[in-house]
Amino acid sequence: MANFLIKDLREIAKGFPENLDDWPHIPCPTCTRGALLPVSDSFVVEESVTSRSLHDHDAWEPEWIHGGFHCVLTCRKETCDRVRVIGEMTVDWGGRHDVQYEQYLAPTMFFPALPLLESRELCPSGVGERVDAAAKILWLDPNAAANRIRAAVEALLDDRGVIRTKLIRAAKVAKISLDSRISTFKTALPQYADAADLLLAVKWIGNVGSHEDVLRIPDVLEGVEFLDHALSLIYDTSGDDMRKRASEVTARRGRPGTFSIRVPF
């Protein structure tokens, strides 16, 4: 099943164009289904003082321009909270005949944070708290966000009863690696083997985020997508309910379960 939330977030990660009408679909953190729209009179983009000071340099090029932007976003639903976005502005070669140089707007923070999980309502509290922490810093520090997503995997295994520590000697306790915990989960609950494989991939992304400064937002979003699907496989019981209802309909051969009047069949 396509994860449209992740698809939206990947488009946002590409940055915003100058024209507000061309901004991508931004999911609302209040209702999660509505689209946030930029309030045009709140949009401010400005070149930094440092950047302006370089204009007199003999080698100056438009690509040297940099600064910031901020804007208020509102959902189509009036009951939803407003969202503020701030970010960086740069200028680069546009590659179009009508425009040589274009501004590029890269968001670095949304407040409140944008939602990350389609399956957020399925999360145990410990998992949800760590994902929410990742959402707050994703756009500014994707490596740190990846570490929090890894922590969400640890919390998920806590919720499923997979132990974190073991006694190795008298009064000596050792921490069990996340690899081992995932393996234990997969062995003990083979019906969740596919989910365990997804969690292992999330762990590896989190490891890189902890030890190397190489992850970018799309890399973290891939881990979020894996976690989201694992949550659905483990906690979503709607499929079981649907199969039960289908069996009941089949047993009745399609007839309604109750009748307000007696029907001739």
Cis peptide bond prior to 29, omega within 30° of 0: no
Q: How confident is the model at residue 81 (pLDDT cuts 50, 70, 90)?
A: very high
pLDDT above 80 for 171: no
- pLDDT score, position 64: 93
99 with 57, same domain: the answer is yes
Q: Which residue has the higher pLDDT, 100 or 161?
A: 161
Q: Which residues span the domain enclosing 170? A: 116-238
Total number of domains in the chain? 2
In a domain, 24, yes or no: yes
Read off the tokens for 12: 């946002």
Tens-place pLDDT, residues 107-145: 999 999 999 999 888 899 999 999 999 999 999 999 999
- What residues pair up with 85 in beta bridges, in sequence order? 71, 110
Question: How many Å apart are CA 91 and CA 94, to the nearest integer?
Answer: 9
pLDDT above 60 for 53: yes
- pLDDT score, position 166: 87
Tens-place pLDDT, residues 213-225: 899 999 999 999 9
Read off the tokens for 164: 């974190």
In a domain, 246, yes or no: no
159 with 194, same domain: the answer is yes
pLDDT above 70 for 263: no
**CB 183 within 8 Å of CB 254:** no
- What residues pair up with 87 in beta bridges, in sequence order? 69, 107
- pLDDT score, position 207: 96
* Angle value at C-alpha 214, between 211 and 219, nearest 5 degrees: 105
Percent of the chain with pLDDT over 70: 94
**CB 73 within 8 Å of CB 38:** yes
Q: Which residue has the higher pLDDT, 257 or 4?
A: 4
In a domain, 251, yes or no: no
- pLDDT score, position 132: 96
1 with 93, same domain: the answer is yes
pLDDT above 60 for 259: no
In a domain, 260, yes or no: no
In a domain, 228, yes or no: yes
Percent of the chain with pLDDT over 90: 72
- pLDDT score, position 172: 85
Question: How many Å apart are CA 206 and CA 219, to the nearest integer?
Answer: 10
pLDDT above 70 for 36: yes
